[in-house]
Structure 1
Amino acid sequence: MTNQELSELIALFDRSTALTMKLSEEGFSLELDRRGRGEAAVPPVPQPAAPEESGHDGKWVRAPLVGTFYAAPGPDQPPFVQPGSHVAKGQTLCLIEAMKMMSEVCAPCECIIEETAAQNGQLLSYDAPIFRYREA
């Protein structure tokens, strides 16, 4: 099962009214359960508000999967892009780590990055806005 398939499956479960889900495939097993098991309830982690998209010109590059956002290829290296960067179609903008796998997020077209909405090390939800851009 790919990261994308897993992300879509979890998103479907989140939108459903089902309380549990179990899936087993050769070498893989997944169990999701939203019922309490008697433990103290853990408050949800506050998420920063999504940027207002209607007040800005431009389009957004969004997270293709759930995972941790990394702006640079390594902790001691400069970020792939910054606001004002002119990027080519297919150029790497950031990395998202999910299940110890790194996925590159690439520019959808030749564009200029106008805003970065995510912080390095931030957990992103599926379809979260990452970069606001305008076509060059």
Structure 2
Amino acid sequence: MGSKNKSNIFKSIKTTTEFALLFSIIIGIIYYFFSNNIIGLFTDIPILKSLTTELWSLVIITPFVSMLAFQLDGIFIGATLAKEMRNCIIFSSFTFYLIIELFISDNLNLKDLYSCFLLFLILRGVFLTFYLKRVFNLVLIK
């Protein structure tokens, strides 16, 4: 941002996003192959192990699904675009609420709630992507 060089900003965003994608896939693979070990680190209670195992497929995809939202969070924090981040969280939260209220409120279970949370993260990433042009405009204005 400080150098006011749009191509450097684009290269930085591209490179860090590629690394974030790579590491999200690696973490998902680790979760897949070491699920029992990871769950065992947190609990030895059989019912919790069973419940966690039922949700583990969602846990495995969480790093990949959340990668864009958290990557863009860092970019927007660095660009001091807090208003845009706030708006995206409001839109995503509202959508999260509507889905729970309209589609699954009567039969809400943990897997549905976790799925909605993943949808919330996807929506945050998508909404922040719509605002990404402001990061480049910020470089050109300053």
TM-score range, shorter chain: under 0.3
* Higher relative strand content: 1
TM-score by length of 2: 0.23
Greater RCO, CA 8 A, separation 6+: 2
TM-score by length of 1: 0.24
